[in-house]
Amino acid sequence: IHLSDSYHITNKGFDISSVTISLPLGASFNPETGARDELGSFREKPTVQEGNMTAPTNVTVQFREALMKDIEIKFTVTYSLPWKEYVNQHNWRDYNLGFTFEKFDWTIRKLTVAITLPEGAEFQSSKPLDPCSIEKSVFQETITYVFSNITSFYDLDFDVTYRYLVFWASFYPTLWMGVLVIVACAIVLLWRA
């Protein structure tokens, strides 16, 4: 499971030069490519305190310059989670994604969570709340949740059920083989003509 957390921080207190982010349990973070701001990778690689399935991974991002009062910064942290720990398969087509945000020490004015399902998957339900929107493209669905004024007291658990047929894994190879067969048949017909 690939995740990307985008932060837009406005400093309302003392000058700060770094921020520590707790990633979910079992997260895998690459310090070389896992943190970027609007100008690209940070000058200093983020420091990582590795976690496991019982303790979260903590990533400390050093800003390019100290973040003074009323100044804002935008940056993104990218990481991976083990699929087997977060997704349960109930039968041959029904899956459940269970995800919890790690606790944080600040107030989030607006939190937007977008979950992009695998190609061919179809959203079924979610608990404890319904999504704000479901965007459908040709082969993929994106489920979006929006929260306001979130503090560390909020319970941000996501439980999303979706339907995914195993035949979708063979969609692109079958499509390419079909194209190759059609091209081969066209060449044979032209050769005979």
Strand residue runs (E) in the chain:
2-10, 16-25, 35-37, 40-41, 47-49, 56-67, 72-80, 87-89, 94-100, 108-116, 122-127, 133-136, 141-150, 157-163
pLDDT in tens, 120-174: 888 988 887 788 888 988 788 899 988 888 887 887 888 889 988 766 566 566 6
Query: What is the model's pLDDT at position 69?
Result: 84
Q: What would the two tokens of residue 148 be?
A: 């306001």
Q: How far apart are CA 176 and CA 180, in angstroms?
A: 6
Q: How far apart are CA 56 and CA 22, in angstroms?
A: 6
Does residue 74 register a pLDDT over 80?
A: yes
Q: How far apart are CA 139 and CA 118, in angstroms?
A: 9
C-beta of residue 149 within 8 angstroms of C-beta of residue 107: yes
Cβ atoms within 10 Å of 81's Cβ, excluding its own:
18
pLDDT band at 17 (very low <50, low <70, confident <90, very high): confident
Does residue 178 register a pLDDT over 80?
A: no
Closest C-alpha to 137, from 149, 154, 120 = 120
